[in-house]
Structure 1
Amino acid sequence: MMEQPYFGRRLKELRRARRLSQAALAGEEISTGYLSRLESGARQPTERVVTYLVKKLAVERSAFDVPPSGGSLAQALSLATSSDSDETVERLIIALDQAEDEDLLLRWQALWIISRHWQRRGEHAEERAALEELVRIADELALPELQCRAQSQLARLLRATGEVTRAIDMATHAYQLATQGKLSVSDVGTALQTLVAAEAEAGRLPDARAHVDELVTLVENGGSEVMRTEALWSAATVRFRQGDHERAREFLERAMNELDSRVDLTLWVRLRLATASLCLQTEPPLTDLGRAYLQEVEGALALVGTSVMRQELLMLQAYLAFHEGRYEDARAAHDELNCDDMRMTYRDRIRLSILDSQLLLLEGDEERGLSRLRELGEQARQASNIDLAADIWRILAGALETSRQRRSAAEG
């Protein structure tokens, strides 16, 4: 019998590496519900199912074998610290699961590495579980630095998954811990950056503007190159939400010019994705600029691309095709994104659904397109994502007006 939860994590990893949906892997042999429970670790696989999955995935049975833990949690932590490969982190996860009465600081260090692993892979549920425990341990240890870092990271994830109100509360507390405890520029800056992002997402733009200006001043006087770049990115986001698209693009271009790709190639890629996104959301869309940034990204993704970044690129390529009137290409790119494996943020998921609704309207399915836009607007409103909800209502109003004009022309 294969061991859970390792079997489930490995199964999901192998399925995604082959770009298979749960339905495609399940086929006629097993239900998608059962496959989902296998991947979550809630069910043990039977011998028949293991045989089927091995054949379907074209792997040896040993692909599901639990790697040796490498001894104690301290040993596994040492290995993971010196090498951030997936294998060493998997061993660390197993060692942590098996550890009993370990030192809280050791557990905190292990969970920190594990949470970053899940973040890179876009595994929001797993990352959240690790971050929730990090917050609990940090509070038990009563160490302001660890409390601030854990709460900042959890607030970032909460914002990304649509829990904006709680994200603001947690980021505010992290920021208070950092300032009251006179923590490092890095800790204060990270908490501020997280707070700005959450406030901007909630439409609290005056607060976000005041905090981002504070952030830019802070890091210019003592932050690292990466922190300065991320602060400029945050400033661009706030300016864009305030409607100052030109100033937002200036901040992003400055950030891109100041960051050497050799310092942080992943951030270099993410900046260009963000700038392309801004160009395509501008009215009218700056399609030439957006295309140029996306072309820059494609080559770099072969070196540092994660599933999350590849999905972001594909979504932006779909939007580029839409704005260029290549609707069939836009639909093809949209449909290529595997909904079972979606790892993007809440905002990007909603934007992808908006695109689907707009394509439905163009394809003549007016009832579904309009209904979907109404649902998305209400969903964003209930999530306190005010500016996103406003964008959806604006698109819906335009679609309703187009529909009215079409009916009037037909009746006339």
Structure 2
Amino acid sequence: MDSTAEDGEGTGRRLRELRRARGLKQQDLASDDVSVSYISLIESGKRTPSAAVVTLLAERLGCTTSYLLTGQDDTRTRELELKAAFADLSLHNGANAEALQAFSEVLASAPVLSEATVRRARLGQGLALEQLGRLEAAVQAFTLLYEDPGCVAGSAEWSQLATALCRCHQALGDQTLSVEIAERALRRLDQLGLEATDDHIQLGAVLVGCYRTRGDLAKARLVAERLIRIADDGAGRTAQRETYWNAALVAQSQGRLDEALALAERARALLTEGDSLRHHALLSGVYGMLLLSSDPGDPERARQLLEQSHAQLVEVGTAVEQAAAESSLAVACLRLDQAVEAQHHASRALGLLRDQPCRESVEARTVLAHAQFSAGESGRAQETLRAAQTQLRQLPPARSSAAAWRRIADVWQRYGYIAESTAAYRQALDDAGLPALITSTEQTGVPSAR
């Protein structure tokens, strides 16, 4: 085949790829001077377009004539790589909508870019979707990359994708799948015999969080202790911070509050100005809640940290994260005997969640009911707490739901509603996997103690 024919085939192929990447049909490129059939012939390599036709098609596709003719367009490539770098920076700074827009614009010109740049943009797009709360779309983006043959097991990208998939499935409530992905990935790393990297450690830290959420606290502690040993043996600041952070949450769940505070302090000490504002905010929130939980605690200092966390999350956090910060502030206000202010924070949390049946919404209602009882609004408080129970029944039984039932029961009991508190405590035991040994029917036949 002569060079002219080869050039024609290359131009036609690039024309077809770019048109499809733009979501256009052949008729969208046609005009009075260029028919649909002629475009079809160009794309099939059967016609070599004139310079005038190439110029016309390049204008309609938003590319240069140089790219259509040779496949090379250094100026356009540099522009897109700069846009991808801008998108990365936007994502780091919490400007998730801007990042998503920029990554999408980069991917619209995928045929012009290297495979590495395209994969980087697709990963960024998935991360932006995750931060915007579009979890199903994020899972789809991450899965396509993770299952692609170009994603090498053990690589930094592979570990980042496994970690992201775990986070998303956990947030979607599928704890089983989240744990399976992390465990399978860590087993694969063990089989490969690779030296642990920061990305591998962060994957393990996410698994610790999954175990904790699912209620496997013994497993969570074992993995956390192993990760701390690895992280202390030369891991980077980010990996160490993630490890201490998750270990602190496990210690809190097991009631080891002094240890939890110490671990959280170590995590906060590893924060730098270069870390994302979101990480600063979330860690301040965790530390503030630990201060509230400890004995005797420091509610005033806790509120300062929680207010700082909330102010930062308003800028960079998701709606769920902002709502959790509002609920935490409500708890701090209750500890400081500020029931009215606590109601304001809890109500704002519910407004952010838009009445979604989720753990955060149940928590906000429970805190709101506590504040209403404290303010003497008994009727409203009972209504709010029953609404929290209704939402909680829509969630699958798990350790987190058992803890939510326990908090509801504590509020009922605090204000003298014994029957309601007893029922909630029983539901907490059921959700924790400890159902009654005697059925209600059998109980009626048991003589009461004298």
Which residue number in structure 1 is paired with residue 410 of structure 2?
398
Does structure 1 conserve the Cα–Cα contact (< 8 Å) formed by 2:83 and 2:106? no
Does structure 1 conserve the Cα–Cα contact (< 8 Å) formed by 2:77 and 2:113? no
Shift of 1:200: 0.5
Alpha-carbon distance in structure 2 between the residues aligned to 1:103 and 1:244: 50
Alpha-carbon distance in structure 1 between the residues aligned to 2:206 and 2:188: 14
Alpha-carbon distance in structure 2 between the residues aligned to 1:345 and 1:221: 43
Which residue number in structure 2 is paired with residue 161 of structure 1?
172
Alpha-carbon distance in structure 1 between the residues aligned to 2:62 and 2:357: 33
Shift of 1:144: 3.8
Does structure 1 conserve the Cα–Cα contact (< 8 Å) formed by 2:103 and 2:121? yes
Shift of 1:321: 1.8
Which residue number in structure 2 is paired with residue 228 of structure 1?
240
Does structure 2 conserve the Cα–Cα contact (< 8 Å) formed by 1:152 and 1:194? yes
Alpha-carbon distance in structure 1 between the residues aligned to 2:77 and 2:328: 43
For the pair 1:117 / 2:132, whether they are aligned, the reply is no
For the pair 1:372 / 2:387, whether they are aligned, the reply is yes
Alpha-carbon distance in structure 2 between the residues aligned to 1:234 and 1:390: 20
Shift of 1:397: 2.8
Percent identical among aligned pairs is: 17
For the pair 1:90 / 2:101, whether they are aligned, the reply is yes
Mark the CA change 1:106 to 1:311 in structure 2 (over 3 Å): closer, same or farther.
same
Q: TM-score, normalised by structure 1?
A: 0.68
For the pair 1:289 / 2:301, whether they are aligned, the reply is yes
Q: 2:82 aligns with which of 66, 79, 83?
A: 79
For the pair 1:277 / 2:289, whether they are aligned, the reply is yes
More displaced stretch, 392-401 vs 98-107: 98-107
Does structure 1 conserve the Cα–Cα contact (< 8 Å) formed by 2:323 and 2:360? no
CA shift digits 1:323-380 (9 cap, x unpaired): 3332221222222346466699965444223323434655323553443343354445
Q: Which has the larger radius of gyration?
A: 2
Alpha-carbon distance in structure 2 between the residues aligned to 1:406 and 1:180: 55
Mark the CA change 1:149 to 1:180 in structure 2 (over 3 Å): closer, same or farther.
farther
Unaligned runs of 5+ in 1: 1-67, 408-412
Alpha-carbon distance in structure 1 between the residues aligned to 2:238 and 2:357: 22
Does structure 2 conserve the Cα–Cα contact (< 8 Å) formed by 1:193 and 1:231? yes
Alpha-carbon distance in structure 1 between the residues aligned to 2:390 and 2:350: 21
Shift of 1:127: 2.6
3-state SS of paired residue (1:83) = helix
Does structure 1 conserve the Cα–Cα contact (< 8 Å) formed by 2:198 and 2:238? no
Alpha-carbon distance in structure 2 between the residues aligned to 1:287 and 1:299: 18
Shift of 1:170: 1.1
Alpha-carbon distance in structure 1 between the residues aligned to 2:122 and 2:364: 32
Alpha-carbon distance in structure 1 between the residues aligned to 2:100 and 2:198: 25
Mark the CA change 1:225 to 1:101 in structure 2 (over 3 Å): closer, same or farther.
closer
Which residue number in structure 1 is paired with residue 364 of structure 2?
352
Higher relative contact order (CA 8 A, sep 6+): 1
Mark the CA change 1:112 to 1:268 in structure 2 (over 3 Å): closer, same or farther.
same
Which residue number in structure 1 is paired with residue 198 of structure 2?
186
Aligned residues: 335
Q: TM-score, normalised by structure 2?
A: 0.63
Q: 2:335 aligns with which of 298, 308, 323?
A: 323
Shift of 1:242: 0.5
Unaligned runs of 5+ in 2: 1-60, 68-75, 91-96, 421-450
Q: 1:215 aligns with which of 209, 222, 227?
A: 227
Does structure 1 conserve the Cα–Cα contact (< 8 Å) formed by 2:353 and 2:361? no
Alpha-carbon distance in structure 2 between the residues aligned to 1:229 and 1:345: 32
Does structure 1 conserve the Cα–Cα contact (< 8 Å) formed by 2:342 and 2:368? no
1:26-175 maps to which residues of 2 (within 5 A)?
A: 78-84=81-87, 85=90, 87=98, 89-96=100-107, 106-137=117-148, 141=151, 143-145=153-155, 146-175=157-186
